Amino acid sequence: MADKITPRSVDYSQWFIDIVLNAKLADYSPVKGAMVIRPRGYAIWERIQAEFDRQFKATGHQNAYFPMLIPMSFLQKEKDHVEGFKPELAIVTHGGGEELEEPYCVRPTSETIIWYMYKNWIQSYRDLPLLYNQWCSVMRWEKRTRLFLRTSEFLWQEGHTAHETEKEAVEETMRMLGVYKDVAERYLCLPVIAGRKSEAEKFAGAVATYCIEAMMQDRKALQAGTSHFLGQNFGKAFDVQFQSREGRLEYAWATSWGVSTRLIGAIIMTHSDDKGLVLPPTLAPEQAVIVPILKKDSAPAVLAYCEKLLAELKASGIRAILDADDTQSPGWKFAEHEMNGVCLRIEVGPRDMAEGKAMVVRRDTGEKVAYEVAGLPATALGLLDAMQKNLYDKALAFRKENTKRVSDRAELLAFYGKDQGDEAGTATATGGFAEGLWCGDRECEAALKAETKVTIRCLPLEGQDHVEGKCCLCGKPAKHLAVFARNY
Amino acid sequence: MADKITPRSVDYSQWFIDIVLNAKLADYSPVKGAMVIRPRGYAIWERIQAEFDRQFKATGHQNAYFPMLIPMSFLQKEKDHVEGFKPELAIVTHGGGEELEEPYCVRPTSETIIWYMYKNWIQSYRDLPLLYNQWCSVMRWEKRTRLFLRTSEFLWQEGHTAHETEKEAVEETMRMLGVYKDVAERYLCLPVIAGRKSEAEKFAGAVATYCIEAMMQDRKALQAGTSHFLGQNFGKAFDVQFQSREGRLEYAWATSWGVSTRLIGAIIMTHSDDKGLVLPPTLAPEQAVIVPILKKDSAPAVLAYCEKLLAELKASGIRAILDADDTQSPGWKFAEHEMNGVCLRIEVGPRDMAEGKAMVVRRDTGEKVAYEVAGLPATALGLLDAMQKNLYDKALAFRKENTKRVSDRAELLAFYGKDQGDEAGTATATGGFAEGLWCGDRECEAALKAETKVTIRCLPLEGQDHVEGKCCLCGKPAKHLAVFARNY
């Protein structure tokens, strides 16, 4: 049986690690800051990937693959880009037994090598747009790492598009932000706020960075995806010019956008509880487990009854398993499958069988109802749908409860508590998302971060229409509505 | 329009490169020996992946992900393994701005890091078998590279399994060899010979390596997949012991097996022709293209007719496109779609429309038949099936025509020609697969290779039952039937 997991109220960070390790989603590796994604974790990633990939293709994108190594000189070509990424690079200096003339870095992101190639492929407006995406792993040598949330190597997708006009590139940036929001909310049950990053928080090399931000159960924010409008920065850095419709030479306009295995961390920290993993039914490798209650004489009949039920559930498209292991007690199995995030537990004992019933327990609410076995697949599908909706609604309600409009500095500081800037973050910490007006000044934002570890998560897309009043931090005239939070 | 491609009869190697570049399957990259896989190439890889992945899961395997970096000390733990791979490693010496205490290599294959993790996960026979697979990229710093066939970085899958007994591990090795042969023949239309490698050709660290070998159009062999029985070599190197059913501590038994993007090279070199790419319908990103013959007055009607046909083809599950570009002539389009390997070309002009017909041209045979448009989707599905079968049959017939049984050295040397060991390999080179008895001696094999570049590709599984006679190379008593060839 899995080890006991630390309750969230005691130590939220340890609770998270306990879930990841005990549900066998991932494990520590012997490589600094890198993790191993175990089959149950990877099966979740495969489902996340499949849904995003479907949406990318539906919006006209194609997958491609670019080298994992990038010549160091490429990074230098965009000055903000190299400044942002240089401290985090892993460097390859030797290959095939010899020292290399020019070192390579392992890609931290692929704008540079992709735009180097785009120069060969883009001559005319007829070659545009290029709407490419890549699924791969990237490496960022982080000092402090945490399973799924921040690892030196992680899996992600990176979209890189090239366009004729600024307008089209901006539209693409917003379209992919919309795809991210849709998949996060509908498929991962993560309510997110879509917004623009402040100048201080934007991607190294971007003109503007847009993001989706989710609230975890400890009320901290987690950036769940980003979409960047890169302007002509990479077009110019890699000299990607094309003949326009008017016959002029122009630099191509760019976007890039990505989501990563970090999403699995967000899903865990949004839905799970002290018993273990809770997963949206869309993602659960196992949506239902049948646990037979085996007693001496009736055991063969109960097992046969369960096997028939299993076949029916599978035939309805439910990912169901039967746990017929007779070396473990039902109670042990209940705990194990709760730990693993199986959505529905279906208990069948001799009496249930005699009555033509089965006891169904929902992982999210713990509701336990005896249903007729005739029609159970349809019932189970209905319960899975209800669970999908409930997880989203619960997370949205939690975010709303923990979001506060603030109008001045005192109110904001009170919301976050005087000395609550602890690194671990506990579920008892005060605060959450604060919404307040902001002047837009870098120094004003930096001062808040230094004092409280609270940062501007985004300038939400909604609510920027009639910004009037004073900055809640410094009292100067406000330019934006901002969402503040401590963050992962 | 695409550049003219070099005919196979002039220069087979150049023909191959011309196909890859002009059909936009891949491109050279600025990273030594690495290529960029362009969308059309990657779409083929996605289909290859999907089919293998389906078969792996159907045989009980799960996907996982292990770090791309491996501590150098891990490689040292299995002595054959490090000897085999050390010359090809890319080495990471710096991370996060600092020199690393211990360098890492970029994985050339992942046995070592996976077996390091298996030690944590395997305590008892109850934990076995572990049937894991990983889709990833690997790096082998090769001196001479060729698009798809031999690149410093390539995409692949690597299965790594751990078992209680030798028998189970051997069965797994053979099961996955069977999966490879099945997918290669049924899905990729590549007839292959399944066999065991000689000691000289086996994987560094294996007890026995099995492979599937295909014949290219220049009659050279290409190794299309390998499945290794690793014995307890990695179990011992990483101290992976488990409590057996009898209560003893035993080392786990291992297999590993892989196929890579090299398969795309094999597919090109088996099926394509001097007009461009020919793809099995299972893999073709575009299975049918409708080319309207647009003449002034009838153009709108013909276009509408084609759009209706397109919708019908798509509704039948055919990956169909309509090329309505009015800036290019039909002839230009025909050549372009032939280059790109579209399986069926459907020409529709005003007269075809008037007669309720469409002209369909098969990419593999060039057959051109006017079919009734009513029922065309069913006709097209039938043609695609016929093409799938024809590609396999043609390749198999070619291999049979170019396979010769040899009984002595003179016969073998005559088959390969006196001085035909040219590196490039041309379609006019003599030779192919020679089948002959072999003594099993390493020196005997090495002498042949040094003299002729002909090697033992495998000891085919079929035909080893009644080996009696003399080695066709040295005349000593024979132990095996062997397949000889020059190879990629």
Q: Give the rounded distance of the alpha carbon of A67 from its chain centre.
A: 25
Global ipTM? 0.95
Q: What confidence tens digit (pLDDT) does each residue in B300-353 have?
A: 999 999 999 999 999 999 999 999 998 999 999 999 999 999 999 999 999 999
Supply the pLDDT for residue B418.
57
Closest CA–CA distance from residue B145 to any residue of chain A (Å): 13
Q: Torsions phi, psi of A298, nearest 5?
A: -85, -5
pLDDT at A1: 44
* Rounded Cα distance, B374 and B352, in Å: 12
Domain extent at residue A325: 288-390
Minimal Cβ distance to A39: which of B45, B64, B87: B64
Partner-chain contact B42 A31, CB within 8 Å: no
- Residue B143's Cβ-count burial label (10 Å; 0-12, 13-18, 19+) is exposed
Angstrom distance (rounded) from CA A301 to CA A349: 10
Nearest of B114, B115, B133 to residue B64 by alpha carbon: B133
Mean pLDDT of chain A: 95
User: Are B23 and B98 part of one and the same domain?
Assistant: yes
Residue A152 DSSP label = S
Domain with residue B302: its CATH number is: 3.40.50.800
The verdict on a CB contact (< 8 Å) between A39 and B142 is no
Those residues with Cβ within 8 angstroms of residue B370's Cβ, 6 or more apart along the chain or in another chain: B352, B355, B357, B358, B359, B360
Position B149 scores a pLDDT of: 96
Are both A87 and A118 inside the same structural domain?
Answer: yes
CA distance A291 to chain B (A): 20
Residue A238 is predicted with a pLDDT of 97
Is A5 inside a domain boundary?
A: no
Q: At residue A399, does pLDDT exceed 60? A: yes
Judge whether residue A387 has pLDDT over 80: yes
Alpha carbon separation from A144 to A296, A456, B62 (Å, rounded): 54, 21, 30
Rounded CA-CA distance A195/B389 in Å is 54
Contact A42/B29, CB-based, under 8 Å? no
Residue B292 carries which side chain, given as an amino acid letter?
P
User: CA of B257 to nearest chain A CA: how many angstroms apart?
Assistant: 18
The string of pLDDT tens digits covering residues A249-293 is 999 999 999 999 999 999 999 999 999 999 999 999 999 999 999
Per the CB < 8 A criterion, the answer to whether A444 and A473 are in contact is yes
Query: How far does Cα B19 stand from its chain's mean position?
Result: 17
In the structure encoding, which two tokens stand for residue B475, read together? Answer: 């005349």
Would you place residue A417 in the very low, low, confident or very high pLDDT band (cuts 50, 70, 90)?
Answer: confident
Cα A39 from Cα B415, distance rounded (Å): 50
- Mean pLDDT for B104-118 is 97
Q: Is residue B162 part of a domain?
A: yes
Beta-strand pair B288-292/B320-322:
parallel
| Whether residue A169 is found in the same domain as residue A20 | yes
Does a structural domain hold residue B277? no
Chain A residue nearest residue B50, CA to CA: A50
User: CATH number for the domain including A452?
Assistant: 3.30.110.30
CB contact under 8 A, A27 and B120: yes
- Report the gap between the CA of B95 and the closest CA in chain A (Å): 4
Min Cα distance B153 → chain A (Å) is 7
* A2 has pLDDT over 70: no
Q: A428-481 pLDDT, tens per residue?
A: 447 899 999 999 999 999 999 999 999 999 999 999 998 999 999 999 999 999
Residue among A34, A91, A139 minimizing CB distance to B94: A91
Q: Domain holding B260: CATH number?
A: 3.30.930.10
Residue corresponding to tokens 């040219």: B422
Residues A160 and A34 in one domain: yes
Backbone angle region of A321, left / alpha / beta, with phi > 0 → left and psi within -120 to 50 → alpha: beta
Last residue in a domain, options B245, B271, B297:
B271
**What local confidence, expressed as pLDDT, does residue A420 receive?**
44
Instruction: Tell how strand B253-260 and strand B221-231 pair up.
Output: antiparallel
**Please, where are the H alpha helices in B36-131?**
39-58, 72-75, 79-85, 111-121
Q: Are A435 and A482 in contact (CB under 8 A)?
A: yes
Helix and strand numbers, DSSP H then E, in chain B: 14, 23
A68 to B71: CB separation less than 8 angstroms, yes or no = no
User: What number of residues does chain B have?
Assistant: 488
- Identify which of A29, A132, A141 has the shortest CB distance to residue B39: A132
Between CA B111 and CA B82 the distance in angstroms is 11
- Cα separation, A247 vs A124, whole angstroms: 9
Greatest Cα-to-Cα distance within chain A, rounded to the nearest angstrom: 86
Task: Name the residue of chain B whose CA is nearest to A72's CA.
Answer: B31
| A82 and A105 part of one domain | yes
The reported pLDDT for the residue numbered A200 is: 93
Please report whether residue A294 resides in a domain: yes
**Strand blocks (E) in A107-239:** 130-139, 153-163, 193-196, 208-215, 221-231
Q: Specify which residues B35 forms β-bridges with.
A: B28
Distance CA B62, CA B255 (A): 15
Residues in Cβ contact with B423 at an 8 Å cutoff, skipping those fewer than 6 apart: none
Per residue in A173-230, pLDDT (tens digit) is 999 999 999 999 999 999 999 999 999 999 999 999 999 999 999 999 999 999 999 9
Whole-angstrom CA distances from A470 to A54, A479, B295 are 44, 9, 67
A358: how many CB neighbours lie within 10 A of its CB? 23
- At residue A181, φ and ψ (nearest 5 deg) are -65, -45
Of A406, A387, A415, the closest CA to residue A472 belongs to A406
What tokens does B423 get?
């590196």
What band does A4 get if pLDDT is binned at 50, 70 and 90?
Answer: confident
Q: Are residues A206 and A339 in the same domain?
A: no
CA dist B194 and A325 (Å) reads 39
Q: What is the mean pLDDT of residues B20-30?
A: 97
**Domain shared by A133 and A233, yes or no:** yes
Give residue for tokens 């201080």.
A200
Question: Measured between CB atoms, which of B29, B70, B95 is closest to A90?
Answer: B95
Please answer yes or no on whether B37 and A64 come within 8 Å at the CB atom.
yes
* Interface touch A36/B64, C-beta < 8 Å: yes
Whether A21 has its CB under 8 Å from any CB of chain B: the answer is no
Phi then psi for residue B473, to 5 deg, are -100, -45
- Domain membership of residue B280 (yes or no) is no
B38: Cα within 13 Å, side-chain hemisphere: 18
Distance, in angstroms, between B87 CA and closest chain A CA? 5
Q: How many CB atoms lie within 10 A of CB A384?
A: 21
For residue A104, give every residue at least 6 positions away whose Cβ sits within 8 Å of its Cβ, in sequence order, or none: A69, A70, A71, A72, A91, A92, B31, B90
Residue B196: pLDDT band (50, 70, 90) is very high
Contact A69 B31 (CB under 8 A): yes
Q: Report the DSSP pairing between strands B90-95 and B98-106.
A: antiparallel
Same domain, B414 and B367: no
Tell me if A65 and B36 make a contact (CB, 8 A cut-off). Answer: yes
How confident is the model at residue A73, as a pLDDT? 95
Categorize the per-residue pLDDT at B466 as very low, low, confident or very high, splitting at 50, 70 and 90: confident
Residue in chain B nearest A90 by alpha carbon: B95
> Using CB atoms and an 8 Å cut-off, which of residues 240-279 of chain B contact chain A?
none
How many Å apart are CA B187 and CA B176, to the nearest integer? 16
Domain boundary among B271, B300, B332: B271
Residue B121 shares a structural domain with residue B227: yes
Instruction: Answer yes or no: do A96 and B106 touch at CB < 8 A.
Output: no
Mean pLDDT of B278-283: 98
Q: How many CB pairs under 8 A join A and B?
A: 157
Give the one of B30, B42, B90 whose C-beta lies nearest to A95's C-beta.
B90
User: Which of A29, A63, A86 is the closest to B39 by Cβ?
Assistant: A63
The string over A309-332, giving b where at least 16 C-beta atoms fall within 10 Å of a residue's C-beta and e elsewhere, is bbebbeeeebbbbbbbeeeeeeee
Do A446 and A386 lie in a common domain? no
pLDDT tops 70 at residue A418: no
Q: How long is chain A?
A: 488
Q: What is the pLDDT of residues A107-162, one digit of tens each?
A: 999 999 999 999 999 999 999 999 999 999 999 998 899 999 999 999 999 999 99
Q: Which residues of A touch B93 (CB under 8 A)?
A: 91-94
Q: How far is A162 from chain B (nearest CA, A)?
A: 15
What backbone torsions phi and psi does residue B451 show, to the nearest 5 degrees? -80, -40
Interfacial B residues in 135-154 facing A (CB < 8 Å): 136-137, 139, 141-143, 152-153
User: How far apart are alpha carbons B42 and A64 in whole angstroms?
Assistant: 5
Asked if residues A122 and A240 have their Cβ atoms less than 8 Å apart, the reply is: yes
CB-based contacts of A143, cutoff 8 Å, min separation 6: B96
Considering only residues 379 to 418 of chain B, which have any Cβ-Cβ distance to chain A shorter than 8 Å?
Answer: none
Residue that is last in its domain, among B352, B386, B420 = B386
Q: What is the pLDDT of residue B146?
A: 95
pLDDT for the residue B3: 67
Token couple for A202: 């934007």
Is B96 in Cβ contact with A92 (below 8 Å)? Answer: no
The pair of structure tokens assigned to B352 is 């075809």
Residue window 74-113, chain A: list those with CB within 8 Å of chain B: 74, 86-97, 104, 106, 113
Claim to verify: residue B156 and residue B181 sit in the same structural domain: yes
Average pLDDT of every residue of chain B: 95
Residues pairing with B223 in the sheet: B213
Domain count, chain B: 3
d(CA B175, CA B215): 23
Check whether the bond before B103 is cis (ω within 30° of 0). Answer: no
pLDDT of residue B293: 95
- Measured from the Cβ of residue B105, the count of other Cβ atoms closer than 10 Å reads 25
What's the CA gap between B379 and B178, in Å, rounded? 33
The answer to whether the CB atoms of B91 and A94 lie below 8 A apart is: yes
pLDDT bracket for residue B55 (50, 70, 90): very high
Q: Do A235 and A294 fall into the same domain?
A: no
CB-CB contact of A64 with B39 (8 Å): yes
Q: How far apart are CA B308 and CA B310, in angstroms?
A: 5
* The pLDDT of residue A50 is above 90: yes
Cα–Cα distance between B250 and B232 in angstroms, integer? 9
Touching B: A residues 117-136, CB under 8 Å: 117, 120, 132, 136
Residue A343 has pLDDT above 80, yes or no: yes
pLDDT at B296: 86
pLDDT for the residue B2? 52
Percent of chain B clearing pLDDT 90 (strictly above): 92
Name the residue facing A65 among B88, B143, B155 (closest C-beta). Answer: B155
Contacts of B143 in chain A (CB under 8 A): 96
Label each residue of A60-79 as H, E or C.
CCEECECCCEEEHHHHCCCH
DSSP result, A424-444: S--TT----EEEEEE---HHH
Give the list of residues 6+ apart from residue B304 with CB closer than 8 angstroms, or none: none
Q: How confident is the model over A66-101, as pLDDT tens digits?
A: 999 999 999 999 888 889 999 999 999 999 999 999
CA distance B76 to A226: 41
Residue B205 DSSP symbol: T
Residue B214: strand, helix, or coil? strand
Residue of B nearest to A45 (CA): B64
Angle CA(A215)–CA(A216)–CA(A221) in degrees, nearest 5?
50
Question: pLDDT tens digit string along B391-410?
Answer: 999 999 999 999 999 999 99
Quote the pLDDT of residue B79: 87
